[in-house]
Homo-oligomer: A and B are copies of this chain.
Amino acid sequence: MLELDAEALYVELQHGVRSLLAEGTRPDAALVGIWSGGAWLAERLQRDLALAGTHGVISSTLHRDDFNARGLVTQDGKGTDPTQLPFAIDGRHIVLVDDVLHTGRTIRAVVNELFDFGRPASVTLAVLVDRGGRELPIAAAFAAAKLALPAGQRLRLARADDSRFSFAVTGNV
């Protein structure tokens, strides 16, 4: 049985993101969370790191490489796109936040979505968990934990009513 303390990993992520934001003096760096787990993380990081402004939210829906097979299916089942970027992307240093890094296909999709809004100065990735299994040449600058999971298992962040994080593991080996 896998035991991952999402709250403890969140504290690590907070330190990691603080360092990334401080690198090379990036006063204009902005957090963008990947829908849905990464968006929860970005929301809390924005508050806990006392960052000015609002975090962004981005979805991979429109650029997924299985878009033809899936069509416009979103988390809420209503076909709406949760992307919300309340600031200019052009020339901006973006710190992308996600719960789990796996194949890298979501990150490719999300970076392409970002570029639809402008040409960022840089995009850096920070995640709670890097579970390996990469299928694209994608890497996180910071991962609070690295572990290996069987390909058939799914790991995703859950958020309780009191805003506390936990991990849900589903699927068979």
Chain A interface category by residue count: 20 to 34
**Copies assembled:** 2
Cα–Cα distance between A138 and B124 once the two chains are bound (Å): 9
Interface-lining segment among A45-53, A73-81, A114-122:
A114-122
Which one, B96, B119, B137, contacts A141 given CB within 8 A? B137
A135: contacting residue among B112, B122, B140, CB under 8 A: B122
Inter-chain contacts of A123 with B (CB < 8 A): 135-137
- Which of B66, B108, B137 lies in contact with A139, CB distance below 8 A? B137
Q: Tell me how far the C-beta of A60 lies from the nearest C-beta in chain B, rounded to whole angstroms.
A: 14
B96, B111, B125, B141: the one contacting A108 at CB < 8 Å is: B111
Q: Bits for A141-171, please: 1 = Cβ < 8 Å to B, else 0.
A: 1000000000000000000000000000000
- What are the interface flags for A82-122 relative to B under an 8 Å C-beta threshold, 1 for contact and 0 otherwise? 00000000000000100000000001100110010001011
Interface residues of A (CB under 8 A from B): 65-66, 96, 107-108, 111-112, 115, 119, 121-125, 134-141
Contact partner, A140, options B96, B112, B137, Cβ 8 Å: B137
Query: In angstroms, how far is the closest chain B Cβ from the Cβ of A65?
Result: 5
Chain B residues with CB under 8 Å of A137's CB are: 96, 107, 111, 123-125, 138-141
Q: A112-B112, A139-B139 are in contact. List 4 more A-B contacts (CB 8 A).
A: A108-B108, A122-B135, A123-B136, A137-B140
Q: Which residue of B lies closest to A121 (CB)?
A: B135
Interfacial chain B residues near A141, Cβ < 8 Å: 137
Leading 9 A-B pairs by shortest Cβ distance? A139-B139, A125-B137, A122-B135, A65-B119, A123-B136, A137-B138, A137-B139, A65-B115, A123-B137
Contact B111 A136 (CB under 8 A): yes
